[in-house]
Amino acid sequence: MKKLFTTLSNIWKIQELRERIVFTLMILLIYRFVSHVVLPGVDATLLGDNEKSGLLGLLDMFAGGSFSRVSILALGVMPYISASIVVQLLGIAVPSFQKMQKEGESGRKKLNQITRYLTVAITAVQAVGYVKTQVPQQAIVIDHTLFFVLATFVLAAGTLFVMWLGEKITDKGIGNGISLIIMVGIIARLPMALYQEVTSRFVGEGGMISLVIEIVALFAVVMFTIMIVQGVRKVPVQYAKRIVGNRQFGGVRQYIPLKVNAAGVMPIIFAQALMFIPATLTQFFPSLQNTWLVQFSDYTSLAYSLTFAFLIIAFTFFYTAITVNPTQMSDDMKKNGGFIPGIKPGLSTSSFIDDVISKITFPGAIFLAIIAILPSIAVKFGIKSEFAHFYGGTSLLILVGVVLDTLQQIESYLLMRHYDGLMKTGRVTGRTGIPAASGSNAVI
């Protein structure tokens, strides 16, 4: 406890770090305040029960409840995340995008600009869909045509405003702005979910003992998730000695940290999108309802969990294969005079790295699948679904990844000023999952 207070005191002593933290908190406070502003032309008292489930519930969670509140920030940062994913995939498949990725700072600026333009296009399409399908008709108190046009522009402006807030946090605050905004939206749902769980335990069955067991289990799950997020396989790399004038370069041993979970949360997002298809079909086509589709629409069913886990494992290998390039790593190592001890440079090094990645990706994929289906297991044990979502899945991985990355930045400030870091031994390391175009705007 004493070390904690000492660390907090050291953080407050560093003026730049203090100003960045205060700035970040102010921006997040503004975001939460604006997220409660309802679209013009909508009477909030007439919204009624507008809670979302399924894919829409996931979007509502990322938006911090703004989606169901019909807020001006209802679309949140999801259009930006979608645009970032598209740009990254284009960087894998399109040569011109690959060239921009290798151009350094100028290339990063071009990709960021493309991402912003694509965000505007995606936001416009999603805004039209949201106004047509998700705004309760009885809550609209002005002319519907006027509301449709006005709300579309306001929603698009709201998403761009959130994107701007995120970039300001990244530039002048601490941590990654977009990631922190998503994390705050997820955490905003925790107090109510915890309150409902506590109330249900004391009013219904279980009592204090069951509640304590749930909290201990949640703590264990969080620790397990941190272990998966931080797990790395260090591949030793030796650099040859070079004499330039009177100075010696190289001759040191370093490591390539290969992540156990290099794909982050992307496999869960892709798999979840596919698993929402049966529920969507039964919703729009009631005639298709049958036992098979109903089973796959219930996320607590055994068939849903097994299929979900299989898809996550498959997408983990797929996404790791397209984002981690052993051949490029081998070529970069060779250009810089590095080699793996006992392995020939070139094709042999590439094959060795690919073999290591394959071996560590399998357990990483299994653990990721376990984390993803933990909420459904928690519901089976009687935990309310709102609170069960914090036992795993996308929300937990995002929370852990963002917190670790933010702590890593704070630790770097402390170490630069010769203060003790946040850990007694080692350094805090983090890993984000949802990709952005590049550079400082990388998302979760």
- Looking at residue 2, its pLDDT comes to 66
Lowest mean pLDDT among 193-202, 248-257, 288-297, 369-378: 288-297
What percent of the chain clears pLDDT 70, i.e. is strictly above it?
83
- Nearest of 48, 47, 49, 67 to residue 57 by alpha carbon: 67
Mean pLDDT for 398-425 is 75
Mean pLDDT for 378-387 is 82
Most confident range (mean pLDDT) of 138-147, 243-252, 365-374 is 365-374
Q: pLDDT: is 250 or 220 the higher one?
A: 220
For residue 26, pLDDT beyond 90: yes
Mean pLDDT for 331-343 is 82
Sheet containing strand 253-259, strands side by side: 253-259, 232-239, 338-339
Q: pLDDT: is 96 or 287 the higher one?
A: 96
Angstrom distance (rounded) from CA 131 to CA 333:
52
Q: CA–CA distance from 397 to each of 54, 140, 226, 228 (Å)? A: 18, 37, 8, 10
For residue 424, pLDDT beyond 70: no
For residue 440, pLDDT beyond 50: no
Lowest mean pLDDT among 151-165, 350-364, 400-414: 400-414
- Looking at residue 442, its pLDDT comes to 47
- Looking at residue 439, its pLDDT comes to 43
For residue 114, pLDDT beyond 80: yes
For residue 27, pLDDT beyond 90: yes
Angstrom distance (rounded) from CA 23 to CA 27:
6
- Looking at residue 281, its pLDDT comes to 67
Q: CA–CA distance from 18 to each of 46, 312, 344, 404 (Å)? A: 43, 40, 49, 19
Lowest mean pLDDT among 6-10, 64-68, 192-196, 426-430: 426-430
Lowest mean pLDDT among 18-27, 47-56, 435-444: 435-444
User: Which residue type does 85 have?
Assistant: I
CB atoms within 10 A of CB 409: 16
- Nearest of 422, 258, 434 to residue 354 by alpha carbon: 258
- Looking at residue 434, its pLDDT comes to 47
Q: pLDDT: is 19 or 201 the higher one?
A: 19
- Nearest of 417, 398, 251, 297 to residue 54 by alpha carbon: 297
Contact 239, 336 (CB under 8 A): yes
* DSSP 3-state of 38: strand
Angstrom distance (rounded) from CA 363 to CA 385:
28
- Looking at residue 161, its pLDDT comes to 93
Angstrom distance (rounded) from CA 444 to CA 442:
7
Mean pLDDT of the chain: 80
Long-range contact set of residues 279-283: C-beta below 8 Å, sequence gap at least 24: 279/54, 279/55, 280/54, 280/55
- Looking at residue 337, its pLDDT comes to 78
* DSSP 3-state of 245: coil
For residue 410, pLDDT beyond 70: yes
For residue 155, pLDDT beyond 70: yes
User: What are the backbone angles phi and psi of residue 247, rounded to the nearest 5°?
Assistant: -115, 145
Q: pLDDT: is 275 or 197 the higher one?
A: 197
Q: CA–CA distance from 108 to each of 79, 100, 130, 166, 218 (Å)? A: 19, 7, 31, 17, 39
- The backbone region for 161, taken as left when phi is positive above 0, alpha when psi lies in -120 to 50, beta otherwise, is alpha
For residue 333, pLDDT beyond 60: yes
Lowest mean pLDDT among 78-87, 89-98, 107-116, 425-434: 425-434
pTM over 0.75: yes
* DSSP 3-state of 142: coil
Contact 417, 194 (CB under 8 A): no
- Looking at residue 285, its pLDDT comes to 66
CATH 1.20.1250.20 fits 201-444, yes or no: no
Q: pLDDT: is 274 or 242 the higher one?
A: 274
User: What are the backbone angles phi and psi of residue 94, rounded to the nearest 5°?
Assistant: -105, 125
- Nearest of 430, 299, 293, 298 to residue 374 by alpha carbon: 299
- Nearest of 57, 37, 50, 34 to residue 181 by alpha carbon: 34
Band the pLDDT of 438: cuts 50, 70, 90: very low
Distance of CA 358 to the CA centre of its chain: 23
Mean pLDDT for 27-45 is 88
For residue 193, pLDDT beyond 70: yes
- Looking at residue 432, its pLDDT comes to 46
Q: pLDDT: is 293 or 347 the higher one?
A: 347
